[in-house]
A and B are shown apart, each in its own frame.
Chain A
Amino acid sequence: MSAPILWILLPILIGSFTLLLLRERTVAVIGGGTSLVLAGIALIVPIDEALRIGPLSLKIASSASILGRSFLLPPADAPLLVIIFGMCALWFFGAEAAGVALRLIPLGLIITALLVASIAVQPFLYAALLIELAVMAAVPLLSPSDQKPGRGVIRFLIYQTLAMPFLLFAGWLLAGVEASPGDLTLTIQSTSMLGLGFAFLLAIFPLYTWIPQLLEESSPYVVGFLLWLLPTIASIFGMSFLDRYAWLRTSPEVLAGLRGIGLLMLLSGGLWAAFQRKLERLMAYTAIAETGFILLALSLTTAGSLDLFFLLIIPRGLGLAVWALALSILKKENASLEFSSAQGLARAYPLASAALVFAVLSTAGFPLLAGFPPRLALWQGLAGASFGAAILFLIGLLGLLVGAVRMMAVLVMQKEETRWSLKENWIQRGMLGIGITGLFLLGIFPQIMRPFLENLPLMFQHLGR
């Protein structure tokens, strides 16, 4: 047994099998259970080491060769596999509550496997192709066959597809820069190519117009899943470039560019969030701001910047899951989620409304919630690098906070004398309850993430050491 077979091929096979199933609960249990087991194996069974269980000896080899190239998942990648599949389990179990298990889980497992393959493929540059395959698998997820495809899904396909050629060319040019470091023209060309590729891939300002459109057109839960997984893996792919090329990670211009773009994403996301009048669009701009946090973490040159990046992953995944689930529940019962139509929804859906508010407050870095510790650390790091950047960071957070307060006001606004009720079903209550508890637990006891995060920087040969 090899790690790529276990964490890449197996989810693809199980995902393909679940395409044949028709019951939401069965699919949710199989998808969630598979992800949980895969996370458990990554946590317990060491890669490349023999594990003795009684008379049996079990060893998971780290690599597998396909078409002359190797797919490598070394022991250092195990914590990331735990996080990815652990979070997938949460998303897949929640898919039944959101009513999208039949759509999300089969393709979600395949997408996750392809994205894990993008981390494993050697040379890492080929990840661009595997990410593109994952993007194409996401299209039927975002646009069901009985629904006319909207502009958002078309733009998503276009932008993500355009990223691939830029990244592959950039990789080729970067090898040239490595061979002749003094060639300024080549350096500029390769950096521009790389920047354009990641601008498309990570939906950097102004190429993020598809996110709000997609959230209005498709199920928020499905879009939320992709907004969590795709940028996370794309960022790790980006870090591979920084890790591989010394001149990139030491270039002050590249780091300043990352900081500038990160701030632009946070500010534009935060300010747009403050003025939104639709719950879906508010989530979209929150997700955009989250990408800004990732870029800001990568821009810091301090020793702990990599830890900071990984510290953002779990709260981001949990926050988006809670957001997306609550929004899906509200959207199922209400055709429009404009502020004018969402007034007083908290009286009928108190748990979903509370989940929405806590999730956006967590993104805004509100104390006691999951987003607070990483944002505080990020702010501290940023203040050390540039005082102006720290101020702009606060303005962005303020925008998100204003958005949260406006949303809370709308949700609890009393339209007429309506009685409080609890319209969420038991599964929805359970999943929302777990999500909200998680947001508080990670906010109050952030050290519980430490066992998963402390060895993650070792994934990178140069950045992590």
Chain B
Amino acid sequence: MFAVILAWIAVLLLLATSAGLILNRDWRWDLGLLAAQYLGTFILVAQHWPIGMAAVKLVTGWMATAAIGMTLNALTPREEVPGQFWPRGRVFRLFMIGMIVVLTIAATPHVESAIPGIGLPVVAGGILLIGNGLLHLGTRSEITRVIYSLLTILAGFEIIYAGVESSILVAALLAVVNLGLGLIGAYLINAELSPEEEAA
């Protein structure tokens, strides 16, 4: 019973963090939200994997977050200006997040019946992250945002995939992919922001 309650708390945490990543514009808050997102991911993955294996997701997620954070901290990122082609208001983004929540509520029972034994909170958490990650990816084009959204989508996928696959090799490779994405993000952010730093 406690595990189920904890899993639903993790889903709420994932909703808050993934929505916060879409709504927020301060990079320090973003990093905190990303780190918290990996905590929620860890709780849901631990529903099917041993704690030790699930902890790999938490540690690599935090390492990826740290890599991005150190780069942003060193380069002092400029204020983000979202693309002009897309509605920018917070209300609009909140509406879109609401749509993702509705979609998640509608899709979760169907997916859960297709993957017996996986559990409603695991499916809900996974779909929520994938949906919000795709929303984030579709509405923002800055490198930092692209990396956050890819990490969010991957975290959502990993939550569901952990319910059907428990190979150590897959866990290791997914950890390397997450860490690699964090490092690639740091590299690209560095490449994007460095020339301006020098010019300044």
A interface residue numbers (CB < 8 A to B):
66-69, 121, 126, 129-130, 132-133, 136-137, 139-140, 143-149, 151, 153-154, 157-158, 161-162, 164-165, 168-169, 172, 186, 189
The 8 Å CB contact of A157, one of B150, B153, B154, B170, is B150
Q: Please, how many angstroms separate the alpha-carbon atoms of A145 and B190 in the complex?
A: 8
Contact at A147–B191, with CB atoms within 8 Å? Answer: yes
A residues in contact with B164, CB < 8 Å = 172
Q: Is the CB of A143 within 8 A of B188?
A: yes
Residue-by-residue, is B125-153 near A (CB-CB < 8 Å gives 1, otherwise 0)?
00000000000010001010010001001
B49 at the interface (CB under 8 A from A): no
Which among B177, B181, B194 has the greatest number of chain A C-beta atoms within 10 A? B177
Q: Chain A interface secondary structure, helix, strand, loop or mixed?
A: helix
Size bracket, chain B contacts? 20 to 34
Taking CB atoms, residues of chain B closer than 8 Å to A157 are 146, 150, 184
Residues from chain B with Cβ under 8 Å of A151 in the complex: 141
- Report yes or no: B180 in contact with A136, Cβ–Cβ below 8 A: yes
Tell me the bound Cα distance from A148 to B157 in angstroms.
30
Minimum distance in angstroms from B130 CB to a CB of chain A: 8
By a CB distance below 8 angstroms, the chain B residues around A139 are 184, 187-188
Chain B, Cβ-Cβ closest to A162: B153
Closest-CB distance, A231 to chain B (whole angstroms): 20
B191 touches A165 (CB 8 A): no
Q: Tell whether, in the assembled complex, residue B170 and residue A126 are in contact, meaning their CB atoms are under 8 Å apart.
A: yes
A161 and B173 contact, CB distance less than 8 A: no
A-B contact pairs, 8 of them (CB 8 A): A121-B169, A126-B167, A126-B170, A139-B187, A143-B188, A145-B194, A157-B146, A161-B150
Of the candidates A66, A68, A148, which one forms a contact with B191 in the assembled complex, judged by CB atoms under 8 Å apart? A148
A69 to B167, CA, bound (A): 8
Choose among B150, B167, B169, B192 the residue with the greatest number of A CB atoms under 10 Å from its CB. B169
A67 to B168, CA, bound (A): 6
CA distance A158 to B151 in the complex (A): 11
- Chain B residues near A153 (CB, 8 Å)? 188
For A137, the chain B residues whose CB sits under 8 A away are 180
Q: Could you give, for residues 105-124 of chain B, a 1 whenever the CB lies within 8 Å of some chain A CB and a 0 otherwise?
A: 00000000010000000000
Contact A149 B192 (CB under 8 A): yes
Report the Cα distance A66→B164, complex, angstroms. 21
Smallest CB gap from B134: residue in A: A162
User: B34 CB to closest chain A CB, in angstroms?
Assistant: 16
Known: A133-B176, A154-B141. 5 other contacts (CB 8 A): A67-B167, A69-B168, A132-B177, A133-B180, A145-B187
Task: For residue A454, give the distance in angstroms from its CB to the closest CB of chain B.
Answer: 34
Among candidates B161, B173, B177, B188, residue contacting A169 with C-beta atoms closer than 8 Å: B161
Q: Does B195 contact A (CB under 8 A)?
A: yes
Which B residues are within 8 Å of any A CB, using their own CB? 114, 137, 141, 143, 146, 150, 153-154, 157, 161, 164-165, 167-170, 172-174, 176-177, 180-181, 184, 187-188, 190-192, 194-195
Residue of B nearest to A138 (CB): B184
Q: Residues of A contacting B167 with CB < 8 Å?
A: 67-69, 126
Q: Which residue of A lies closest to B158 (CB)?
A: A165
Q: Say whether B173 contacts A130, CB under 8 Å.
A: yes
Q: CB distance B146 to A129 under 8 Å?
A: no
Chain B: minimal CB distance from A223 (Å):
17
* Total A-B contacts with CB atoms under 8 angstroms apart: 86
**B176 — which chain A residues lie within 8 A by C-beta?**
133
Which B residues are in CB contact (< 8 Å) with A165? 153-154, 157, 161
Q: Are A129 and B157 in contact (CB under 8 A)?
A: no
Least CB distance from A197 to B in Å reads: 12
Distance between Cα atoms of A186 and B111 in the complex (Å): 12
Given the complex, which residues of A lie within 8 Å of B195, measured CB to CB? 146, 148
Chain B residues with CB under 8 Å of A154's CB are 141, 143, 146, 188
- What's the least CB distance linking B45 to chain A, in Å? 15
In the assembled complex, the Cα of A389 lies from the Cα of B190 at a distance in Å of: 48
The reply to whether A129 and B168 contact each other, CB–CB distance below 8 Å, is: no
Given A67-B168, A154-B143: A148 in contact with B192 (beta carbons within 8 A): yes
Residue on B nearest A154 in the bound complex, by CB? B146
In the complex the two chains form, is B169's CB within 8 Å of A140's CB?
no
**A129 near B191 (CB under 8 angstroms)?**
no
Q: Using Cβ atoms and an 8 Å threshold, which residues of chain B touch A172?
A: 161, 164-165
* Chain B residue at minimum C-beta to C-beta distance from A70: B169
CB nearest to B115 among chain A residues: A172
Q: Given A146-B191, A154-B146, is A133 in contact with B181 using a C-beta cutoff of 8 Å? A: no
Q: Are B169 and A67 in contact (CB under 8 A)?
A: yes
Rounded to whole Å, the gap between the CB of A163 and the closest CB of chain B is 12
Known: A133-B180, A145-B187, A148-B191. A66 touches B169 (CB 8 A): yes
Take A67-B168, A136-B177, A162-B153 as given contacts and tell me if A149 and B184 are in contact as well, using a CB distance cutoff of 8 Å.
no
Contacts of A121 in B (CB 8 A): 169
Cβ A69 vs Cβ B169 within 8 A: yes
Chain A residues lying within 8 Å of B187, measured Cβ to Cβ, are 139-140, 145
